[in-house]
Amino acid sequence: MSAIQTHYRNCNICEAMCGLEIQYQDKEIISIKGDQKDPFSKGHICPKAIALQDFYHDPDRLKKPVKKTADGWVEISWEEAFDEVTTRIKAIQEKYGKNAVGTYLGNPNVHKAGNSLMLPNFIRALKSRNRYSASSIDQLPHHFVSHYMLGHGSLLPVPDIDHTEFLLIIGGNPMVSNGSMMTCPDFAHRMKSIKERGGQVVVIDPRRTETAKKATKHHFIKPERDALLLLAMIHVIFKENLDNLQHLEDHVNGLDEVKSIAQAYSPEVVAPSAGIAAEDIRQLALDFAKAEKACCYSRMGACTQSFGGLNLWLTYVLNIISGNFDQEGGYMFTQPAFDIVKLNSRKNRPDSYKKYASRVWEFPYYNGEFPVATLADEILTSGEGQIKAMVSVAGNPVVTTPNADQLDKAFESLEFYVAVDIYINATTRHADIILPGCTALEIAQYDVSFHNLAVRNTVKYSPPLFEKEDYQKDDWEILQELTARLSDKPIQRMTPEMMLEYGFMSGPHKDKGINLQKLLENPHGIDLGPLQTCLLDRIETSDEKISLAPEAMLEDLPRLKKAMQEDQQTSFSHRLIGRRLLRSHNSWTQNSYRLVKGRNECTLLLHPEDAQAKGIENGDRVEVISAVGKVQIEVEVSDEIMPGVVSIPQGWGQAGKGIRLSVAEGKSGVNMNKLTDHKRIDQLTGNAAVNGVPVNILVTE
């Protein structure tokens, strides 16, 4: 046995990039702790990091390619797997056309450098227009709004949380999620510091969340009515002449248009529909505008709903007109060492929004993709352009995307399906072949996306802790091999490290000597300082001005007005929203016993008044019915949820035929996406509207 050794790396489960200190001996983990010397996370971790060892050792995890046969799954060689996958894909594309092969890319791809860097070439090699990803059930409105206002979908503002004096959080629960589109290790401590320096944190959410409980103030809001609140705040700021764009004064277009639109949305007009009292809205707007440094940050609950695009647009507008955009303590921009904006500049590139419409429902095309909400219909509806085969890479859409049962049937109906995945779960059980990559402890990691979204400029690279076995391949190697075999021309085989080095050499910190060698010499990471005012150097619009009133947003406003008028016309008693649990990450971490043990947290939250009206008691089982499905679930009566709203955690409900997740199956819970309607999307961006879903609740015997 060799001596105990220590390894430092970033946890790559969620977006927070916590530094880990891992003690190990041979292939056994002795301890996983927070790395006190990481200049960014300073020792913080959450319970999920400890489970990295469970995924590494998990006997259910695949390490070799498997093929489905009449006798079940059998292991096959990589050569055989690559041959069969490429032969089948080529045959289907020859027979039905290139678009007959669809792709779905899931969330872990952005948490692995190799995947992020190799996927664009793989997707290009397939030459199919039928591209889908978890982005359209997550953060698409952020990209859309940055694209139209700032000229680039990846030029994304981040709350300068460490300097702000007023943080307004709309539809985010960072106390549990650890922050999203805001890489922010130890949110709890950073939020406490705001309060300690006399600042405020205000949360807008239909649930009094873990974040709301620690905030200075929380307002309930009716689901999907945030755009109204934002419009009313903007209304008040203009009315009181509190608008002040600071250094951006001469760098915006469309200020008068925004001003004139907001005139119609006084706090009194929106209050009944939003469910927040007019005087509270007015006070919030005044407090926000008068704070020295303020930031309005909108996330999942504001994105994955019918007005995601408008919400994000108005969030940017609110920050801009109150002088809090690109200013210390406001909504700021990073200067990452590997600068994905500069490396992929959009200046002078044609706009592809709505270049195509999806075949069955004419949903909008954006950023090279169609909305994932329509994937099942594109597979199930016959005709020219129908999807006959799928490639999924690190995604589990049967659990994570709308109308799960329909998508389950769709995957079952495919002529061919290959999954690049490490588990046989609700989605990949339908695969013909599964190609498994490696897990966190076996890979080198650089957070290509999350350094771009961090609340400080930092940089860190981690080599693998354990060498993979000879018979294993990592995702990037799988993707590169498939790319080579599917391409018409020979490809250049660059490693992720070669690509990173290229990026660092042209990045904003090249003068500080940031390169791979330097990063290897600094295993705790390097701090590059607080966020700086830099937007005017980074903006990508052709006239270098911020577009405050893009056409697309203005055209979407009548839809909001209509929804406001239709508020009372529904035959459903409740609106369903999701929630995240501290010890699970989306749908894939539930096979770690240490993360799922304990009481059942996959419950329906129901307000006491609603429970009483229906004669429901805590612990009762009820049936929840939506336009597309139903589930049976245990009720947790709680006044932390707003009357008229119910909540079920996302990412659960994996049990049944063919699934090989022995721990998760025993703790399976309910899949809330059996209830989410695939036709409910934000019609502006195409993002799925999984929050605010109309449901009825039936008491079962």
Ligand X SMILES: Nc1nc2c(c(=O)[nH]1)N[C@H]1C(S)=C(S)[C@@H](COP(=O)(O)OP(=O)(O)OC[C@H]3O[C@@H](n4cnc5c(=O)[nH]c(N)nc54)[C@H](O)[C@@H]3O)O[C@H]1N2
Contacts of 557 (CB under 8 A, 6+ apart): 261, 310
Task: Locate 518 and state its tokens.
Answer: 């330097």
- Least separation in angstroms between residue 400's CB and ligand SF4 is 17
Residue nearer to ligand X on the CB measure, 93 or 691? 691
- Least separation in angstroms between residue 421's CB and ligand X is 4
- Confirm or reject binding of residue 221 to ligand SF4 (CB under 6 A): no
Q: Which does 133 bind (CB under 5 to 8 A by kind): ligand X, Mo ion, ligand SF4, none?
A: none
Site string for ligand SF4, 169-208 (x = CB under 6 A): ---------x------x-----------------------
Contacts of 666 (CB under 8 A, 6+ apart): none
Q: Which does 45 bind (CB under 5 to 8 A by kind): ligand SF4, Mo ion, ligand X, none?
A: ligand SF4
Residue nearer to Mo ion on the CB measure, 340 or 535? 340
Q: Which does 102 bind (CB under 5 to 8 A by kind): ligand X, Mo ion, ligand SF4, none?
A: none
**Angle, CA 450 vertex, CA 139 and CA 594 arms, to 5°:** 90
**Angle, CA 193 vertex, CA 192 and CA 196 arms, to 5°:** 90
Q: Which does 159 bind (CB under 5 to 8 A by kind): Mo ion, ligand SF4, ligand X, none?
A: none
- Least separation in angstroms between residue 582's CB and ligand SF4 is 9
- Confirm or reject binding of residue 11 to ligand SF4 (CB under 6 A): yes
Contacts of 320 (CB under 8 A, 6+ apart): 245, 248, 252, 546, 548
Q: Residue numbers of the site for ligand X (CB under 6 A)? A: 14, 106-108, 112, 134, 137-138, 170-174, 176-178, 180, 204-207, 209, 221, 223-224, 226, 299-302, 304-305, 393-397, 400, 420-423, 425, 437, 439, 475, 577-582, 584-588, 650-651, 672-673, 676, 690-692
Task: Locate 93 and state its tokens.
Answer: 């594309």
Residue nearer to Mo ion on the CB measure, 138 or 682? 138
Task: Indicate which single residue of 29, 45, 424, 622 sits in contact with ligand SF4 (rule: CB under 6 A).
Answer: 45
Which is nearest to 375 in space by CA: 444, 336, 424, 427?
427
Characterize the bridge pairing of strands 461-462 and 604-606: unpaired
For the chain, give the number of residues. 701
Q: What span, in angstroms and rounded, lies between the C-alpha atoms of 297 and 299?
A: 7
Asked if 152 and 342 touch (Cβ cutoff 8 Å), the reply is: no
Residue nearer to ligand SF4 on the CB measure, 33 or 468? 33
Q: Which stretch binds ligand SF4 (CB under 6 A): 7-15, 118-126, 163-171, 308-316?
A: 7-15
Q: What span, in angstroms and rounded, lies between the C-alpha atoms of 329 and 200?
A: 12
User: Could you tell me where the DSSP H helices lie in 359-403?
Assistant: 375-380, 397-400
- Least separation in angstroms between residue 581's CB and ligand SF4 is 12
Task: Indicate which single residue of 49, 262, 284, 664 sits in contact with ligand SF4 (rule: CB under 6 A).
Answer: 49
299: three-class secondary structure by DSSP: coil
Asked if 28 and 561 touch (Cβ cutoff 8 Å), the reply is: no
Sign of CA dihedral 360, 364, 365, 369: negative
Task: Indicate which single residue of 15, 38, 58, 138 sits in contact with Mo ion (rule: CB under 5 A).
Answer: 138
Asked if 38 and 49 touch (Cβ cutoff 8 Å), the reply is: no
- Confirm or reject binding of residue 13 to ligand SF4 (CB under 6 A): yes
Q: What span, in angstroms and rounded, lies between the C-alpha atoms of 618 and 349?
A: 56
* CB-CB neighbours of 193 under 10 Å: 15
Residue nearer to ligand SF4 on the CB measure, 139 or 178? 178
Q: Which stretch binds Mo ion (CB under 5 A): 131-139, 216-224, 481-489, 496-504?
A: 131-139
672: three-class secondary structure by DSSP: helix
- Least separation in angstroms between residue 17's CB and ligand X is 12
Q: Which residues of this chain interact with Mo ion, rule CB under 5 A?
A: 138
Where along the sequence are the contacts to ligand SF4 (CB under 6 A)? 11, 13-14, 16-18, 45-46, 48-49, 178, 185
